[in-house]
Amino acid sequence: MISNLRKAVRLPQPRTRGVDLSHPARSPLGTAVVNCAVYVDGVRQDGNHPADVAIRRVREAGRGFVWIGLHEPSEKEFSGIVELFGLHPLAVEDAVHAHQRPKLETYDGSLFTVFKTVRYVEHDQLTDSSEVVETGEIMVFTGTDFVITVRHGGHGSLGPLREQLECEPEQLALGPSAVLHAIADLVVDDYLDVTAAVQDDIDDVESEVFSVRGSGGAGRIYQLKRELLELKRAVAPLDRPMQELATQPMRQVDPRIKTYFRDVADHLDRVTEQITAFDELLNSILQAHLAQVTVAQNEDMRRISAWVAILAVPTMVCGVYGMNFEYMPEKHWTFGYPLVMVLTVVACWVIHRGFKRNGWL
């Protein structure tokens, strides 16, 4: 069974980056309820039942579990499920209002886990205001005979994941914790996809900064750093919950699943390391860009200073001869004016050649 579970965990994910994989509702239980199903020995049971009927069937049989999926439920829509499963009020408040950090909390009879989902926003060209990373949330209530998923945001649909798990009953037979692991694995795999896409953007900016034109603007670099910070806020807090799920004994988590939580934790560590490396790389790119700007400004100032020095010669000569003194050198000589002009041009040429030789022009 464990070998089959490993095979099930690593199946290719039917996801497309940047596309919302919507999943049609199978249960007419309300606008927020996407799906409600009973699983016995990993096999989905026929029929669409309300949540109270589904959990009653499971508890009367003494086997199986219920998986209820909701999308952005209101307090009123969620209230019936809260009473039915005895969910803690604090966890319910977090699930309804969202905007939570990734975390794992233990309540009487259930675990409450918050995941931040991320999606890479496709764009033709990175600008100073491009949105690169879009975030959402998935909250998971895990009990011994139920799992309730609450999704917020326009992406991160669990429909394809549910269908994939239903094709591998050996995994679902391990209970609600198998669903929790599959969701964690899906979320972290999405992190890997997004970091790979962000790396492409960083490579593009780096190439432009070090190109001959040097057109990589500081605005785009700052925008990437802001989007990278948003990704870091989604990823970094999840490390502790994954470590707890992988190492701490919990009644709601099958011991055979813990090995696979460790695998997810390893992938999460890789994402965290990549984000840290990206942040340091962007700092280096920004410093290099600012250094290039400074060098370019210095070059411009050197050229301006050189031309000012060259033009100072004719300016001085014209200023001297424009003072209208009666006795001026060569003022009454026929070749005086041409001689002064030639000497002025020669002096300017000598100065220009000196600056050219020194690399100022």
Place 138 in a pLDDT band, splitting at 50, 70 and 90: very high
Place 332 in a pLDDT band, splitting at 50, 70 and 90: low
What are the pLDDT digits (tens) for 212-226? 555 557 778 888 888
The reply to whether 213 and 332 lie within a common domain is no
Place 6 in a pLDDT band, splitting at 50, 70 and 90: very low
**Cα dist from 55 to 59, 120, 310, whole Å:** 6, 37, 92
Bridge partners, residue 111, by sequence: 106, 142
Q: What are phi and psi of 311, to 5 degrees?
A: -70, -15
The reply to whether 284 and 334 lie within a common domain is no
Q: Taking the model in full, what pTM does it have?
A: 0.74
The reply to whether 337 and 274 lie within a common domain is no
In angstroms, rounded to a whole number, what is the distance separating the alpha carbons of residues 270 and 238?
13
Place 329 in a pLDDT band, splitting at 50, 70 and 90: low
In angstroms, rounded to a whole number, what is the distance separating the alpha carbons of residues 361 and 354?
9
Mean pLDDT of 273-285: 89
Place 105 in a pLDDT band, splitting at 50, 70 and 90: very high
DSSP string, 155-177: S--SHHHHHHHHT-HHHHTT-HH
Place 2 in a pLDDT band, splitting at 50, 70 and 90: very low
- What domain count does the chain have? 2
3-state secondary structure at position 330: coil
Residue ending a domain, choose from 267, 291, 315: 291
pLDDT at 361: 74
Place 190 in a pLDDT band, splitting at 50, 70 and 90: very high
User: For residue 321, what are the domain limits?
Assistant: 301-357
Mean pLDDT of 167-184: 92
pLDDT at 327: 60
Which segment of 80-84, 123-127, 137-141, 173-177 scores lowest on mean pLDDT? 123-127
Has residue 181 been placed in a domain?
Answer: yes
Q: Quick check: 129 and 106 in contact, CB under 8 A? A: no
Helix%, strand%, coil% for the chain, nearest 5: 55, 15, 30
Structure tokens at 170: 């050996």
In angstroms, rounded to a whole number, what is the distance separating the alpha carbons of residues 66 and 177?
12
List CB contacts of 132: < 8 A, sequence separation 6 or more.
120, 121, 123, 126, 198, 201, 223, 224, 227
pLDDT at 7: 37
Residue ending a domain, choose from 273, 291, 309: 291
Q: Quick check: 180 and 211 in contact, CB under 8 A? A: no
Structure tokens at 154: 């326009």
Q: Quick check: 137 and 125 in contact, CB under 8 A? A: no
Q: In what order do the strands lie in the sheet with 33-40?
A: 43-44, 33-40, 65-71, 146-152, 133-142, 110-120, 103-107
Place 13 in a pLDDT band, splitting at 50, 70 and 90: very low
pLDDT at 325: 63
Has residue 69 been placed in a domain?
Answer: yes
Structure tokens at 222: 């700052």
Structure tokens at 5: 């579970």
In angstroms, rounded to a whole number, what is the distance separating the alpha carbons of residues 5 and 260?
9
Q: At what angle do helices 159-166 and 176-209 cross, to 10 degrees?
A: 130
The reply to whether 83 and 224 lie within a common domain is yes
DSSP label at 255? G
Q: Looking at the chain, which runs of residues are DSSP E strands? A: 33-40, 43-44, 65-71, 103-107, 110-120, 133-142, 146-152
In angstroms, rounded to a whole number, what is the distance separating the alpha carbons of residues 175 and 180?
9
Residue ending a domain, choose from 291, 326, 346: 291
Return the biggest CA–CA distance within the chain: 125
Percent of the chain beyond pLDDT 90? 28
The reply to whether 142 and 228 lie within a common domain is yes
Task: Tell me the CATH number at 247.
Answer: 3.30.460.20
Has residue 126 been placed in a domain?
Answer: yes
The reply to whether 25 and 166 lie within a common domain is yes
The reply to whether 195 and 305 lie within a common domain is no
What is the rounded end-to-end Cα distance, in angstroms, of the chain?
A: 77
Has residue 296 been placed in a domain?
Answer: no
Task: Tell me the CATH number at 324.
Answer: 1.20.58
Mean pLDDT of 327-334: 63
The reply to whether 256 and 326 lie within a common domain is no
Q: What are phi and psi of 322, to 5 degrees?
A: -95, 5
The reply to whether 58 and 181 lie within a common domain is yes
pLDDT at 1: 37
